[in-house]
Structure 1
Amino acid sequence: MGVVVSLEDKKKQLSTIQPLLDLVHADMQDVIAILDERVRSHVELIPDLANHLISLGGKRLRPMMTITAAQMCGYEGDGHIKLAAAVELMHTATLLHDDVVDESDMRRGKPAARLVYGNERAVLVGDFLLGQAFKLMVEVGSLDALDILSDAAAVIAEGEVWQLEAAKNLTTTEDEYLNVIRAKTAALFTAAAEVGPIVAGKGRAERGAFKSYGTNLGLAFQLIDDALDYGGSASQLGKNTGDDFREGKITLPVVLTYRRGNDEDRAFFERTLQRGEVEEGDLEHAMELMQAHNALSDTVERARHYGAIARDALATFPDTPHRAALLQAVDFCISRVS
C-alpha cells in the first residue's frame, strides 16, 4: 500500500523506544506489581478477565510518560508510580469498554475479552478497574492530579459517545473528527503526561509543556492507527486490519477520500459505510480509492505535523536522557509507517 513498513523494519524501529524503556524499567516493575495487586478480588472472574488483557502487555506508553515526566521534573517520591498505575488501569478499562461498543474480536493480537467472557462481564470488570484507578489517585493525595485524571475519564467517555454519533456520518469534517480523537484518544495521553510535573510540584510552564506534548503525541498516535487500519497488518495494530471499515467508522482517511472523490466514489462509501452493505473486495477497493486520493499519505503527514508539535513542546527543557527518550517516543509512534 506504500505506507507500511515491513515486519523486519518494524523490529529495527522498536529500538527507538529502548531509551525510554531503560529509564523507566525499575519504576515500571513497581507499576506492574501494583496492577497485579489491584486486580485481585474475591470474585474470581475479575482477576481472570482483567489479566486476560493486562498480561498481554501492550506498549504501555501512557504510564511510561507519567514516570518519565515525573523523573524529568526531579520528583523523588513514589506517587508517580501509583499515578502511572492508575493511568494504565484507566486505559485497560477503556479498551474493555471499547471492544464491547465496537464489537471487536481481537485485541493485542488475541481474542478480545468480550469474546472470551461476554460483553456484560467485560463492561463490569472495566468499571471495577476504573474504581481501582481512582482509589490509587486518592492515595497519592494530589487534588490537582485527581482533577486532571478524573476530567480525562469524563472526556474519554464523551469522545466515545461523540464517535458513536459520528458513526456512518460521511458529512463529518476533518475538524470534527480531530475533536473526536482529541477526546477519545489524546485525552489520556494528555493527562498521563501532565500529572508527572504535577506530582513533582512544578508550575504552569512545565505543566503546559507536558500537556501539549501528551495531546499532540496522542493525536499523532491515533492518526497513524487510522492509516494502518487500511494499510497495515494485524501484528502492527494488535487487532484485525480493516476493522474500522467493517464497523462503519468514519476516520480521517475516509473523510479525506469521501470529500476528494467523485460521485461514484462517494456512492461506494455511502453503500458500504453508511448502509453497511459490504461485499467481498470492498475493503480492497476502499484502500485503492484512498491511495488514489492520497488520503493515507496525507493522514500520515497530519500525524507528522502533530508529532513535530509534541517535540517542540519539550524544546525549552534541558537536553537530558529523559527529554531525548520522550522525543524518540514520538519518532517511534510515527515510524510504524514509512
Structure 2
Amino acid sequence: MNISTVSKPHERLAEILSGEMDAVNDLIRTRMASEHAPRIPEVTAHLVEAGGKRLRPMLTLAAARLFDYAGDHHLRLAATVEFIHTATLLHDDVVDESAQRRGRPTANLLWDNKSSVLVGDYLFSRSFQLMVETGSLRVLDILANASATIAEGEVLQMTAATDLGTDEAIYLQVVRGKTAALFSAATEVGGVIAQASEAQVKALFDYGDALGIAFQIADDLLDYQGDSKATGKNVGDDFRERKLTLPVIKAVAQATPEERAFWQRTIGRGRQESGDLETALGLMGKYGTLAATRKDALGWANKAKASLGILPDHEIRTLLSDLADFVVARLS
C-alpha cells in the first residue's frame, strides 16, 4: 500500500477498508432496488449517494477486521447498519420538517412525506432481510434492539425537546437513542460475527456507545460555538428550533426565576424576539455551560478510548482511538 496522504482517522479507515466498503456499497445498491416501485431506488439513492462518511458501516467492518474475520457476513451487517441509518434519516426529515440534509434538498422536499416514510419502512424491511442472512440470532437481537431504541429515542426527543423539565439523564437517553444506539450496535455486531470473546464484544459495545455520545454532545455544542462554514449550520439553529440540548439544559438547571422565565418563553413557548440568541449565549457564558459541555464530550471520548484496552493490538485499534479524539477535536 502506498504511504497514506490522508490524515483524518475516518479517512484512513476508509482507505484501509476500501475494498470491503466497495463491496458494501455494491450490496446497498443491489438491495435498495425494487422491481415494482421505481420510486424506492430514486429516493434511497438521493440520500445514499449524498456523500456521507459511511462511518457506521465502517465501524462494523473495522470491528470484524480487528479479529481477522475471513467470511462475508460483516458486509451484510455493514449494509444493514447503513440501511437502518438511512431509514431513520428519511423519517427524521419528515418529523423535523427539514428542507436540507448534507447540503442538498431532503427527500420529503423533492418528493413528499408519504414517499419518505414508506421508503424508510422499505429500508427497515431490507435491513432485517440482510440480518437474517447471517444466520445469527444474536446479531438479529442486537440490531432489532438498536432499531427499537432509535425509535424510542425519537419519540422521547419529540416530547422532551421543549420541556424545561428535561434534565441531563433524559438528554443522555435521547442521545443514546438518536446516535449512540447505532454506533454501539455497529461495533458490537462486527465483534460478534468475528467470534470475539464476550469481554471483547462488551468493549466494542462500550466504545461505540461512548463514541456516539461524544459525537452528539460535540455536535450540540458546535451549534452554539462552531464555524458555520465548517458545520454547515448557522450558529444558534438549535435555539431557533427550540431544541433543549446540553448547553441549555445546564443553564436552565442553574437559572434564576427571571432567567427561567426567559427560557420558558423562548424554548418552552417558542416566542422568540430579536436579541434572544445573544441573551441565551450570555446566560450560557454566565454559568460556563459551554465549557462544561465540552468537558463532558471529552470525558465520553476518553471513555471510548479506555474501552479499547482489551482489544487486539492492531492498526485498526489505533485508528478507533484516534477517531474518538477526532470527534471532539472540533471543539478545541
Question: What TM-score bracket applies, with the shorter chain setting the length?
Answer: over 0.9
Alignment map for 1:121-136 (pairs within 5 Å): 121-136=115-130
Among candidates 265, 276, 279, match of residue 271 of structure 1: 265
- The answer for the alignment partner of 2:225 in structure 1 is 231
- The answer for the alignment partner of 2:308 in structure 1 is 314
Deviations 1:202-230 (A, max 9, x none): 23111101010010001101101111122
SS in structure 2 at match of 1:315? helix
Residues 231 and 287, structure 1, Cα contact 8 Å, conserved in 2: no
Give the Å deviation of 1:240: 5.0
Q: Which amino acid aligns with 1:195?
A: V
In structure 1, what is the Cα distance between the partners aligned to 2:329 and 2:261?
A: 34
**Corresponding residue pairs, total:** 327
Give the Å deviation of 1:302: 0.5
- The answer for the alignment partner of 2:75 in structure 1 is 81
Residues 109 and 234, structure 1, Cα contact 8 Å, conserved in 2: no
Higher relative contact order (CA closer than 8 Å, sequence separation 6+)? 1
- The answer for the alignment partner of 1:39 in structure 2 is 32
| TM-score, scaled relative to structure 2 | 0.93
In structure 1, what is the Cα distance between the partners aligned to 2:309 and 2:219?
A: 26
- The answer for the alignment partner of 2:16 in structure 1 is 23
Q: Which amino acid aligns with 2:17?
A: V
Give the Å deviation of 1:175: 1.5
Residues 107 and 116, structure 2, Cα contact 8 Å, conserved in 1: yes
Give the Å deviation of 1:82: 0.8
In structure 2, what is the Cα distance between the partners aligned to 1:13 and 1:290?
A: 37
Give the Å deviation of 1:331: 1.3
Among candidates 45, 49, 55, match of residue 55 of structure 1: 49
Q: Which amino acid aligns with 1:282?
A: D
In the alignment, structure 1 segments of 5+ residues that lack a partner are: 1-11
Among candidates 63, 80, 91, match of residue 85 of structure 2: 91
Give the Å deviation of 1:238: 4.6
Higher mean C-alpha displacement, 97-106 vs 129-138: 97-106
Q: Which amino acid aligns with 2:158?
A: L
Deviation above 6 Å: which 4+ runs of structure 1? none
Q: Does 1:286 align with 2:280?
A: yes
- The answer for the alignment partner of 1:295 in structure 2 is 289
In structure 2, what is the Cα distance between the partners aligned to 1:246 and 1:96?
A: 22
- The answer for the alignment partner of 2:236 in structure 1 is 242
- What is the percentage of aligned positions where both structures have the same residue? 48
SS in structure 2 at match of 1:59? coil
Q: Which amino acid aligns with 2:271?
A: E
Give the Å deviation of 1:53: 1.1
- The answer for the alignment partner of 1:327 in structure 2 is 321
Give the Å deviation of 1:336: 2.0
In the alignment, structure 2 segments of 5+ residues that lack a partner are: none
Residues 56 and 186, structure 2, Cα contact 8 Å, conserved in 1: yes
Deviations 1:132-155 (A, max 9, x none): 111111111111111100110001
- The answer for the alignment partner of 2:102 in structure 1 is 108
Residues 62 and 189, structure 1, Cα contact 8 Å, conserved in 2: yes
Give the Å deviation of 1:191: 0.3
The 3 A distance-change label for structure 1 pair 142 and 235 is: farther
